[in-house]
Structures are given as C-alpha cells and as structure tokens.
Amino acid sequence: MALHLTWMLAFGLLGNLISCLVCLAPLPTFYQIYKKKTSEGFQSIPYVIALFSAMLWLFYAIFSEDAILLITINTFAFFMEFGYITVYLLYATKKDKILTFKLLLLFNSFGFGLICVLTLFLTQGQKRVQVLGWICMIFSLCVFVAPLFIVREVIKTKSVEFMPFSLSFFLTLSAVMWFFYGYLKKDQFVAVPNILGFLFGIIQMVLYVIYRNPMKILVVEPKLQELSHEHIVDIRKLGTAICSEINIVIPQLNDSGKVVFEDQIAKELTKQTQEITNATNKI
C-alpha cells in the first residue's frame, strides 16, 4: 500500500513538473508580443480554452478526494493562462480583442457559470464528483482531438513548421505521467483522456521524424556550351534593323514663324510620289 501511494505521488509530482514546463512554453511568444507591442496575428483561442480547462479541473478537484496535485497544477495553469490573455488583450487589434472577449464570455463566464449552477444545485456528494468528472473528461477528449488539425496540415504541406518536436514530446510525456497518476489513484476521469493524449503525441512525433527534412527541389542551370546557334543574337544585324526603323523628325519654321515638326521619311515618300505623278502626266 505504501509503495502504491509512493508511485502515485511520484507520477503526480512529475506530472506537475512537466505540465508546468508546457505552461511556460508560450513565454517567448508573449515576450515578443510585449517587445513589439503587437499580437502579430496570433490567435487567443488556445489560451482561452486552456484557461477554461484549468477552471473545470480546479472545480472538479475541490470536490474530489486527495486531489491536491490536481489543484496545484491547475492553479498554476490558471494564473499563467490568465496572464497570457491579459498581455494579448493589451496589444491585440480591435477585431482580435472583440473576438477574445466573446470567447471569454462564452466559455469562461457563461459556460463555466452554467456548469457551476447546475452541479451545485442539482447534484451533491459523490454524484456531483461523477458529473464534474464526466464533464472534465469529455472536454479533455475534445481538446486532445484538436491536434488532428495540425496533423492534417503537416501531412498536406509535408512540413513540421507549426508542430515543434519539443512541445509534442513534453505533451506526450505529460500524458504518460497523468495516466499513471489517474490509474494508481483509480480516477478514470484523469486516466482515460491521457490515453488519447499519449496516442496523438506519438503520432505527432512520428510525423515529425518523417517530415523534418523538407523536400529540396534541384534547379539545373543550362551551360553556355549547350546553347544552340538558334539562341545566339547577331548584335550587328539587330542594330541595323533597329536603326532602319528609326524615324527622324526635324523641327522647322513655317512662314508664320511657328515651329513645325516635319517627318523626313514621310517627306521623302511624298516627293517620290509627286515625281512619279509628274512623269506620268508628261507621258
């Protein structure tokens, strides 16, 4: 029994540590947002969802037995996500701010408030824990399904640009720790979602190994010797042809003293035509 509790405590502490590292992963991104004073097109949806998840698990842990490790990690996650969203709202565009406020009202105010009211007034004791556990588990499963969109994008583009290996690795490791913690604690609501999290983490890491080296397109430049004579331009002929097409217009003064631009080629053609006409009339 003592060994069982020791292992459960060990996995719980490791789960806390690794989950803290995952929570700290966006810090460089938000430092850049603060430094550049712009959200740079980043979306707030993942952080709003993460905040909502932390609130749900905190509410569940309060009524669950011996869930101090769930309380510690989700309290840390709550304050980190709240901080990220605050920084985001300071430097986001007006459109992004409105969208973020709508999401916060939908999930963190209306959604969480409705869950609190229904569970507090309609359930009690162990029944309340069961209802909250099912809600947390279903929501966690939905969150773990979200990486499927990233997996689809990686397969489509054959690029892992938006799927860093380190994040996939730590999420997978975190899922392993929380699965064993939930299994040893006999808490199915903690253990079951992390099975799916582990599987998706493995898929992401396998895809990273497959597509980590982008395909290189070999561009072959033609050699000078391979150019045929048909592609060689005679500069002298080209110059003659161009010069023959140049029409020189010389400005002259008419009887009234105004400048008139006279077309020399047109004048020559008119003169030749006049001479031919005169010769014909004589005949």
| Runs of H (alpha helix) within the chain | 2-24, 27-36, 45-63, 68-91, 94-103, 112-122, 125-145, 147-157, 165-185, 188-211, 235-244, 264-282
SS3 164: coil
Which tokens belong to 102? 């709508």
SS3 93: coil
In whole angstroms, give the CA distance from residue 198 to residue 174: 8
Instruction: Find residue 263's DSSP bridge partners.
Output: 249
pLDDT of residue 219: 47
In whole angstroms, give the CA distance from residue 60 to residue 71: 9
Residue 182: band (very low, low, confident or very high) from pLDDT cuts 50, 70, 90: very high
| pLDDT greater than 90 at residue 132 | yes
In whole angstroms, give the CA distance from residue 192 to residue 204: 19
Residue 130: band (very low, low, confident or very high) from pLDDT cuts 50, 70, 90: very high
pLDDT digits (tens, 9 = 90+) for 233-257: 443 444 444 444 445 445 555 555 5
pTM: 0.71
Cα distances from 34 to residues 49, 103, 216, in angstroms, run: 22, 22, 36
154 versus 169: which is more confidently predicted? 169
Nearest CA-CA partner of 155 in 215, 217, 210: 210
Which tokens belong to 147? 């990486």
| pLDDT greater than 70 at residue 220 | no
In whole angstroms, give the CA distance from residue 265 to residue 203: 78
Evaluate whether 16 touches 75 at the Cβ level (below 8 Å).
Answer: no
Evaluate whether 85 touches 100 at the Cβ level (below 8 Å).
Answer: yes
pLDDT digits (tens, 9 = 90+) for 267-279: 565 566 566 655 5
Domain spans in the chain, listed from the N-terminal domain onward:
1-211
DSSP summary character for residue 161 = T
Which residues does 152 contact at the CB level (< 8 Å), separation at least 6? none
Nearest CA-CA partner of 176 in 55, 66, 22, 2: 22
Evaluate whether 154 touches 163 at the Cβ level (below 8 Å).
Answer: yes
Q: Which residue has the tokens 């709202």?
A: 89
